[in-house]
Amino acid sequence: MALPVLRGCHRVSSTLKCTRLFLNESPVLNRGGRPRLPPLPAQRPFSSAAGGQQNQNQKVVVFGIPNPFIWFRTRMYYFLIRAYFDKEFRIEEFSEGAKQAFSHVSRLLSKCQLDALEGLVAKDLIGKLEEKLNLMPSNYKKALSVEPEEIMYTTPGDVGIYYDDDGRKFVSILMRFWYLTSARLPEDTMEGTRVFQVALGEEGEAETKRLLSAHYEFQREFTEGVAPAWTITKIEHSKLLD
């Protein structure tokens, strides 16, 4: 596994000066990292026993072993965020809020409910997503939708701290998600993805699910007087929405 690269950079379009931590591995969130979203539906396990009792006989476990150098450097960035931007910031709370936001936004994308993304997703990104969704077949759109219990693994990726020429301050965190989908997808375009058999019920037939990944970037402006809101500025679903 290659080591991360720490470097300074400039964004041409907005003349943002930044220092970004590049790792190996893109709703609105409030100060504690929790999304300001409508209540999410109750979670459904992958298997149910007779008589209405839920029993998860088999489950897929996805885990990763963090690189100790990456772990230390990301913690340094989290410390800087708490020290200079938000003393209440906790990556655990942020990650949990990001998971809920990811599930909520992915379901809106799957239904092409782009108007509902306003205030949650950057305006310029919504226009780009609309163009891509208009060309996407229905089975691909179904694969975009992610229920909370279908998320198998979540980890932070890139962390960035930015200052522009006007003195505005920004923080961005790229979150990476791995999730299961039962959508029927062509094998030739899904090369490199993992396929699992998930049991439904004690004696039910196994359902084929594919493990996909998605990247959502969350950005927040920390300039004094600006509302404390995280906005999604990047959305990628591997093999589906790049």
Would you write out the chain's pLDDT as a tens digit for each of its 242 residues? 443 333 333 333 333 444 443 333 334 455 445 444 434 333 333 333 334 344 444 455 655 666 788 788 888 999 999 999 999 999 999 999 999 999 999 999 999 999 999 999 999 999 999 999 999 999 999 999 999 999 999 999 889 999 999 989 999 999 999 999 988 888 755 554 555 555 555 555 667 788 899 999 999 999 999 999 999 999 999 889 87
What CATH number corresponds to the domain at position 231?
3.10.450
Residue 185 lies in domain: 68-237
Question: Residue 158 has what pLDDT?
Answer: 86
Domain count, the chain: 1
Whether 130 is covered by a domain: the verdict is yes
Residue 74, helix vs strand vs coil? helix
Cα-to-chain-centroid distance, residue 93:
14
Contacts of 2 (CB under 8 A, 6+ apart): 24
Whether 50 is covered by a domain: the verdict is no
Phi/psi at 97 (nearest 5 deg)?
-65, -40
Beta bridge partners of 10: 17
Question: Residue 44 has what pLDDT?
Answer: 39
Q: Give me 141's structure tokens.
A: 């759109």
d(CA 122, CA 64): 30
Whether 224 is covered by a domain: the verdict is yes
Whether 168 is covered by a domain: the verdict is yes
Q: Which residue has the tokens 């088999």?
A: 58
Whether 76 is covered by a domain: the verdict is yes
